[in-house]
A and B are shown apart, each in its own frame.
Chain A
């Protein structure tokens, strides 16, 4: 198993998703000898999980049952431990399409945060692309690296612990797309430009999230014009998904 390749059976070391019911699931690290407590009883990894097919029903000690699911970036987004506010799949979908990401794309991201978007980007650019993600908080950067390792995707991502506004992405003239979701995105636009591939790439995409910074986009426009002098194509799309239960998310983007 990995987050970029489906596996059929649960193995020692996998990250699996335990599904208890509607809107009720959690991730679990599969390990020989481990046990996991659920409200339906105990799950013993060695006997109940390892070797079973993903999608199987597992009966817990108290008699109730759960389903064990193969992890996907979407399931991860719904279940990951939050270290910061995260992006949900609705916005991630639009970002992925607007940045025209596909296998082989090179993409830069900052900040890494809790890795929600990161996992989705890695999944989309695999197996030949790469994600360069920058996080200025040391523990978060380290935690992200650890998770990418556990999820079998470390070869597709480079986490750099620095301030993107001061030091950029750590790469130059390489990216097809850049995504910024930081407190002052206009300070990083210059670095975004240098990270992007030079002339040969037809359209360069830089997306800046999030709704809460709406007013500050005014300043971004000024900065953009000064830097490139080129006519910039601007469009912004807040996107809401109405599930017939809950959830709204707002997204704002800019395309260079």
Chain B
């Protein structure tokens, strides 16, 4: 376990910027301008600090570790009892917009500005203590440019993605993801099959819980797997040694025994880029979101190769010498391509061999595609007495899946569930719920595999009816008040 090593911010890391409840993943690179929460700055000064350190943005866009200020709680504040005499006429603040701007330009720290605002507010002293706290908090939020740099983890990244780009992860809420990892008994040493179209977030979460032990076979649609989010986790290289991938298009041939590596899907890098842009719920918003926001971390792994190819193609053929070099480069490119293809074929064969053993320890599905065909085929690769979990943004496809699985047999303990989450504000004498999130986190279908019986004559047995799960079907129609 990385103790000291992983705890400090290093150049090249993927870090997550945090301000209150807003997160953003960035690559830590020198002299790279970062825009976050209406602030721009460089991360250079952050390098070497421990993750979790809070910084202030100073003039020039540099980061300075924030000095800890002792909260003075012993001071007796002058405060009112209620707001009956406070009139909201917009005139209680004596400082004008220009005054505040002048203060900012002078380089005065946020804390100072907040102090000034308090002193120049006619109504501050009449507010109740709670209202004063709330006022200060609000002003601090606006004027104190405080940013924390945190180490990426499933918790941080799943919260970030759900808040910023839920479409990319099929609206998989972080608590639902937490349920999946537990229901699936994801742990070190497993041989997992993962099929997801959540930008690699689910894959990353599974990898984190496996700690580099065991193996994962990622099934992918199209030309290649998308692992944009996975690269944010910052896993050490050895974690990827046992990560395999296999195209869904080849699954049927593998199951029927006609699999061959001759016909491969098209170049994975080109297709992966396309996948990245049209992943999620393929809305216009998604691609424009990517373009307008600077998200170097998720994009970086995808961008490197195409630009290289771009360079080689842009070379002008005017000069004779240039032409010669270009021919050489072309030959090298062709050889490189051949080597790459050979390596990919080899990897594909390895993945196929792993799948053929039909002894995977679990299956996780979280995609935009209908889960039924995926499950029916992928369950064939899972050993008996192992859990599987399917996520779907909507309930209906999972109901269908449930029925089809019952018909197939070989699965027990099927459960369809939805997680309901509510955040609370916990402050002395002010604790109350903040908001409710339900129905927006997606649904899960989980179960356990058992030895699949080939002959179906048992189903006429009256005992078999006991093995059916009629009670849950009945309950589906009456949603018990929870």
Contact = CB atoms under 8 A, between A and B. Distances in A.
Contacts of B1: 103-105, 128-129
A96 B3 CA distance: 19
Contacts of A4: 187-189
Task: Name the residue in B188, B415, B466 with the highest tally of chain A Cβ atoms < 10 Å from its Cβ.
Answer: B188
Interface of B: 1, 3-4, 7, 50-52, 54, 68, 70-71, 73, 150-151, 153-155, 158, 174-175, 177-179, 181-183, 185, 187-190, 208-213, 359, 361, 383-387, 412-413, 415-429, 431, 438, 448-451, 453, 463, 466-467, 469-472, 475-476, 479-480, 482
A235 to B, nearest CB: 7
B361 A245 contact: no
A72 B120 CA distance: 62
A94 B50 contact: no
A127 B450 contact: no
B421 A97 contact: no
A214 B419 CA distance: 21
Contacts of A105: 1
Contact-residue size bin, chain A (C-beta under 8 Å from the other chain): 35 or more
Contacts of B450: 55-57, 67, 69
Interface of A: 4-6, 8, 19-23, 40, 53-57, 63-65, 67-70, 72-74, 89-90, 92-94, 96-98, 100, 102-105, 120, 123-124, 126-129, 197, 199-203, 214-215, 217-218, 221-222, 225, 229-231, 234-246, 248, 252, 254
Contacts of B187: 4, 103, 123-124, 126
A8 B448 CA distance: 15
A92 B472 CA distance: 24
A95 to B, nearest CB: 9
Contacts, number: 213
Contacts of A221: 426-428
Contacts of B68: 229-231
Contacts of A246: 475, 480
Nearest to A120: B182
Contact of A242 (B54, B209, B417, B449): B417
- Smallest CB-CB A-B distances: 5 pairs: A55-B384, A103-B211, A104-B1, A55-B385, A202-B52
A209 B384 CA distance: 35
Nearest to A129: B1
